[in-house]
Structure 1
Amino acid sequence: MASAAKQRKIRTIAKEAAAPRPPTWHDELVGVQENGLEIAIGQSVREIRRQLDLTVTELGKLAGISPGMLSKIENGATSASLATLQSLSKALNVPMTSFFRKYEETREASFVPAGSGETIERRGSRAGHEYRLLGHLRRKSLHVEPYLITLTEKSENFPIFQHPGIEFLYMLEGEVDYRHGKRLYSLRPGDSLMFDSDAPHGPEVLRSLPAKYISIVFHVPDQPGG
């Protein structure tokens, strides 16, 4: 027969095993993956409700759902039944499939390992300016193109750039005087410059070489018939 001390130890171990353990990063990740649909549905319901300028209470009354339950649905904290989703679709006057669009959307990513990236021929490339494309994302409403630009002793001044969109520069190495419109900006490592790229712009004075900077171009693509 086990001693009293051993019996107490067994009871302690059993109690600890039965007690809920604190969540780990793995639990949180699994939870996010498992309730991704609930979160997407909740975001869609909230977005449509706000577009219609309805409060949680008002929508709850229209759909026959308590405000507390509706809040849980919008926060992705509970899984709405098919009947509940049908009630919400009628109350919001939208097809039920609209609640699932955010979950079905394709999320793009562009990964470029260190030291790689496609060298792009752009205006200025022939003058010794290297443009290395670090990735790109193209959506119907927005194009994003990040470049690593390198200027060396072989670089020459080149015609000023001018194109639609917004451009962001972050200086990594060297020093250049960069023109935007009628102003010159002295860029050193750590400096950044963001501007309307429809105005004439480009490096005008190469003060310290080699010079490297990140250039990220954001622009809205031309729309058919626009």
Structure 2
Amino acid sequence: MERSAPPSAPDLTTGSGAPAIVERPLEQALGHEIRQLRRRHDMTVNELATAAGISSGMLSKIENGQISPSLATLQMLAVALSVPITALFSSFEERRDCSFVKAGQGVPIERRGTKIGHLYELLGHVSSSDVIVEPYLITLKEEAEAYVSFQHAGMELIYMLSGELIYRHGGKSYHMRQGDTLLFDAGALHGPETLIERPCNYLSIIMYQR
């Protein structure tokens, strides 16, 4: 009787359902960046090859990561693309940003809602990603008022730390206490509809494309 193969072990490298990072070798990273720059300049392979003084066949191999170009060739390509030679290595030397904020040292931010007793503290910032993530600690003081007209691009996650309120998103309302989480499309009108127990503290994490 034929036995089925045992299930493969789960991939534990991502820490989530997100796909794993694909690390490109230097040749592939160079080729990717040169192709992106060429397309940004609306140039064909033949046009860039001619401007750089190399054959179109060689350029195709460079863009596909099949050969390792010399520094002289890279310099000619950089000149033809009107960029510094270091720009060709940007895909290889990608930054992996990290932001650390000590307790009580978030940056106060003026946002809609600030004037009605909603205090915002920005808890971190990174600039190297195509996705912007804005983490805020929001405090609704004793004199805070309800406000359900927030609306912006992206997704938002709210995690209640203390207090109690009813939070409205679109046509639905959610009774939230300590430990409750709400994740929603921020394109719909949203905000705290009824403040039951003040002060309230909650994390608001807003995510949107750059």
Aligned length: 142
Query: Helix, strand or coil: the match of 2:23?
Result: helix
User: For residues 119 and 132 of structure 1, what CA distance do their matches in structure 2 show?
Assistant: 4
The structure number with the bigger radius of gyration is 1
User: For residues 139 and 106 of structure 1, what CA distance do their matches in structure 2 show?
Assistant: 6
Match among 125, 134, 140 for residue 136 of structure 1: 125
Cα distance, 1:96 vs structure 2: 3.8
Gaps of 5+ in 1: 1-39, 49-89, 222-226
Please show how residues 178-197 of structure 1 align to structure 2 within 5 Å. 178-197=167-186
1:111 partner amino acid: F
Structure 1 pair 93/196, CA: closer, same or farther in 2 (3 Å)? same
Q: Please say if residues 138 and 144 of structure 1, whose CA atoms lie closer than 8 Å, have aligned partners that are also in contact.
A: no
Query: Helix, strand or coil: the match of 1:104?
Result: coil
Query: Helix, strand or coil: the match of 2:115?
Result: helix
Aligned to 1:201: 190
Cα distance, 1:141 vs structure 2: 1.8
Cα distance, 1:109 vs structure 2: 1.4
Q: Please say if residues 107 and 123 of structure 2, whose CA atoms lie closer than 8 Å, have aligned partners that are also in contact.
A: yes
Q: Deviations over 1:155-189 (max 9, x none)?
A: 01235100000001110001110000000011111
Aligned to 1:166: 155
Q: Please say if residues 143 and 220 of structure 1, whose CA atoms lie closer than 8 Å, have aligned partners that are also in contact.
A: yes
Cα distance, 1:140 vs structure 2: 5.5
Query: Helix, strand or coil: the match of 2:24?
Result: helix
1:150 partner amino acid: T
The alignment yields a C-alpha RMSD, in angstroms, of 3.2
Aligned to 1:43: 23
Aligned to 2:64: 93
2:167 partner amino acid: Y
User: For residues 175 and 68 of structure 2, what CA distance do their matches in structure 1 show?
Assistant: 55
Gaps of 5+ in 2: 1-20, 29-60, 70-88
Query: Helix, strand or coil: the match of 1:137?
Result: coil
Aligned to 1:110: 99
User: For residues 163 and 195 of structure 1, what CA distance do their matches in structure 2 show?
Assistant: 11
Structure 1 pair 121/91, CA: closer, same or farther in 2 (3 Å)? closer
In the superposition, the TM-score normalised over structure 2's length comes to 0.59
User: For residues 190 and 140 of structure 1, what CA distance do their matches in structure 2 show?
Assistant: 29
Q: Please say if residues 124 and 159 of structure 1, whose CA atoms lie closer than 8 Å, have aligned partners that are also in contact.
A: no
Cα distance, 1:137 vs structure 2: 2.0
Relative to its length, the structure with more helix (as a share) is 1
Q: Please say if residues 146 and 191 of structure 2, whose CA atoms lie closer than 8 Å, have aligned partners that are also in contact.
A: no
Q: Please say if residues 165 and 195 of structure 2, whose CA atoms lie closer than 8 Å, have aligned partners that are also in contact.
A: yes
User: For residues 121 and 198 of structure 1, what CA distance do their matches in structure 2 show?
Assistant: 20
Aligned residues: percent identity?
Answer: 48
Q: Deviations over 1:87-110 (max 9, x none)?
A: xxx69931548xx76651112111
2:64 partner amino acid: N
User: For residues 114 and 211 of structure 1, what CA distance do their matches in structure 2 show?
Assistant: 17
